[in-house]
Amino acid sequence: MFDGTAVKALAEHTRKPVELGDLIAVPNDWQVHDPEALIKPAPTADKLAVYTLGAVRDYLTANRDALPLETLVVHVVSPQIVRISGPIQNRARNRESYVEATAQNLLDGFAGKFMSQEEFIIGLQTRFDNAADRSAVLALASTMTAEAVNTSADDGIGQTVTAKAGVALKATVPVPNPVTLRPFRTFREVTQPQSLFVLRVNQSMQLGLFEADGGAWRLEAIAAVRTWLAVNLPDSVAVLG
């Protein structure tokens, strides 16, 4: 005998959602729903902005935020940026950053262009470590002088002026080209990497330095920063560089 009640109960049973672990399967439309997808990720803290490697060390050593140090990653992003991040968050699938240290690159705005003799000399003394060929380049820049000879003829009606200008050296100063210099362009706690620069002087008596190492200094700077961090941070913290 046909049992309509039993058939109805069976149909209703097959249409009920079925739990598959943390997921819910709805057989009638073959959709799978994740209840946790409706939960918004937890808010993250604003990262602290610091400017030295010492501040990164002090933050992790004091650990005032009671962070599990074995889950943290200190990432040397570039010669000027070091970031402390936590583990990947379950729902958002991103990393929370707690501290970001930023170093100033004093070579920005100085290299790759021509400038006046005075600006060049001041920049060379304030933006570069006193090492390698800096003294020789300073000697060359300080001995440059502009020679100008003006002759005029005036017959009372018209005036003719002839001018000749040039660049001369007060003394002979041998300087290799390219030159090796050590600019301040990463964290001060590490030795600044040296690299090659092409020194040029144009007809307007302007000087310029142009990078000539293909960016190899970046790898050296990142390695130096990573080494400093590995020595000075707690052993349980991972350092990437």
Task: Give the C-alpha separation, 139 to 136, whole Å.
Answer: 5
Position 100 pLDDT exceeds 80: yes
Per-residue tokens: 23: 């997921």
Instruction: Band the pLDDT of 151: cuts 50, 70, 90.
Output: very low
Unique residue bearing structure tokens 């000749």? 164
Which residue is listed with tokens 């959602």? 17
> 47 vs 2, 87, 164, 188, CA distance in Å?
69, 15, 60, 22
Q: How many residues does the chain have?
A: 241
Q: What are 157-172's pLDDT values in tens digits?
A: 433 434 444 555 555 5
Question: What pLDDT digit, counting tens, does each position of 177-236 carry?
Answer: 889 999 999 999 999 999 999 988 887 888 899 999 888 999 999 999 999 999 999 999
Q: What percent of the chain has pLDDT over 70?
A: 69
Cis previous bond, 178, omega within 30: yes
Q: What is the pLDDT of residue 169?
A: 54
Model confidence band, residue 82 (pLDDT cutoffs 50, 70, 90): very high
List the chain domain ranges.
114-153+162-213
